[in-house]
Amino acid sequence: MQNKGFVRVFAILLTLVCVFYLSFSFVTRHYTSKAKEFAKGDVKVEQDYLDSLANEKVYFGNWTLKQCREMEISLGLDLKGGMNVILEVSVPDVIKVLADNKTDEAFNQALANAAKQATTSQDDVITLFVREYHKIAPDATLSQLFATQQLKDKVNQKSTDAEVEKVLREEVKAAVENSYNVLRTRIDRFGVVQPNIQSLEDKMGRIMVELPGIKEPERVRKLLQGSANLEFWETYTARDVVPYLQAADTKLRVLASSETPAEEADNAAAETPSVAQATNTTDSLAAALKGESKTQAADLAQFKKEHPLLAILQVNPSGQGPVVAYANYKDTAEINRYLSMPEVKAEMPKDLNLKWGVSPFEYDPKAQTFELYAIKVTQRNGKAPLEGDVVVDARDEYDHYGKPAVSMSMNTDGARRWAQLTKQNINRSIAIVLDGYVYSAPNVNNEITGGNSQITGHFTPEQAKDLANVLKSGKMPAPAHIVQEDIVGPSLGQASINAGGGWWVVGWVRGGGWVWWR
């Protein structure tokens, strides 16, 4: 009887846990249904509706819609369909960088042989490379290859082959981890719900990515492949740039008003009913979300007509710092389109480049506002004055006030150029840019010599760790390439549920109801 009582209590508790996690699915389905009903078939408006509520607390006053979507039943690829991709970080490329791209014939031949053998061998590239190098140059040591500036603190001329091989494995592992972090950031920016990203321990340099619900595989391929491009840029201040944004707004208004009535009529006639409906629905959505009346919405439309750019781009009123303006994430594409127009670019300084911040503005509770940074392009070739290949190491730590910070060290060449760059920009900001997005723009207090720097700011411990990972990602320019890809269609069968302590699987048994197992 005691055993029966225990089983009954366990069953009740298990049922409550299952109901709790299932409840998140009901919440997300409720809001998805509302979005579909409001959008009336327009996918973009539906997504805008859901995005507008992403950071609103919709469940018990504790969980936002975004958190509910992360906690809901994971349909995975079996039920939802999507992409399953395996990417490979090029280990031979990493080894080349560590060897400072030596032209030594034995080195390059051994590396080429190892890369070729790795496709069929059970051994990894490093093991194969060391073996091949010893065959081709039996009297040479690995330290002759890898006692470089890149590894100056880890390998010297007295290092044994075993010590060098250990360092190579550590560096390749770090390169894969950096690629993993870059991929995670790119996928988060893409907006996939419940992606699965993991390094494959049995295959050196390989990362598996599962993306449920993806309907644009070509866009995903471009997103995932390619090396991270870490750059350090000089910046303008908002005071320098805001007048140009105002001039661009005026130019856009003139361009819009120069359209003749006949052209407007032709454009209106060419507009399909579906496009017109989408525009009206989007306007209604904006008004509904803001609690506006139709009159207020009409006033907003008139203001947009008079100020095409500044109606959706709020300039920095203080004039301080490299952030020149702010915008809702939904307006960034339109702003980019405006700023790329030749007529608008003619109003801007030729050495000005505007880039978005990677994270939402910290003081926006809904996390929907993004900052626009003013980058100064001083070199004729358009390249950044300093790139990530000079970064030797970076780590998160705490400053002497006990606040999260990031320390960064550079090689000799980087230290020299960093000293010059910081000397020229005292009391100005230097933007740290990865993949075209600004991750941080710390202010320079004084010239920094020796190549060792500490970056402080309003960081959380997580943000400091992320920035350290960003800085390390520029250390190894090793692109990740897709080596296997599967497009999975949705099907009925089973779904996995992340129930905190592990993964539960639920399946429907004909005549028997739902069955749960781990």
For 20, 175, 436, the CA distances from 499, given in Å and listed in that order, are: 9, 32, 37
Inside any domain, residue 487: no
**Residues of the chain under the 70 pLDDT cut:** 1-2, 43-44, 47-48, 70, 73-81, 189-194, 215-216, 226-228, 259-298, 473-479, 489-518
CA distance 80 to 69: 14
Same-domain pairing of 263 and 212: no
Range of the domain at 50: 1-71
- 518: in domain: no
CB atoms within 10 A of CB 417: 17
Is residue 433 domain-resident? yes
Do 186 and 259 sit in the same domain of this protein? no
Same domain, 291 and 427: yes
Do 33 and 145 share a domain, yes or no?
Answer: no
Residues 202 and 117 in one domain: yes
The residue among 124, 231, 250, 293 whose CA lies nearest residue 473 is: 231
Contact 467, 406 (CB under 8 A): yes
Say yes or no: 23 and 110 in one domain: no
Among candidate residues 201, 200, 202, the one with its CA nearest the CA of residue 210: 200
pTM: 0.66
Identify whether the C-beta of residue 417 lies closer than 8 Å to the C-beta of residue 386: yes
Q: How far is CA 103 from CA 100, 140, 202, 443, 518, in A?
A: 9, 15, 31, 40, 54
Please state, in angstroms and rounded to a whole number, the distance separating the CA atoms of residues 342 and 401.
Answer: 48
pLDDT computed for residue 518 by the predictor: 38
Residue 363 in domain: yes
Are residues 105 and 189 located together in one domain of the fold? yes
**pLDDT at res. 266:** 47
In this structure, are 210 and 336 located in the same domain?
Answer: no
Last residue of a domain, one of 185, 204, 225: 225
Distance CA(474)–CA(453), nearest Å, equals 16
Q: How many residues does the chain have?
A: 518
Q: What is the pLDDT of residue 490?
A: 63
Tell me: do 208 and 250 sit in the same domain: no
Give the pLDDT of residue 199: 83
Q: Is residue 93 part of a domain?
A: yes
Domain boundary (38, 71, 104) is at: 71
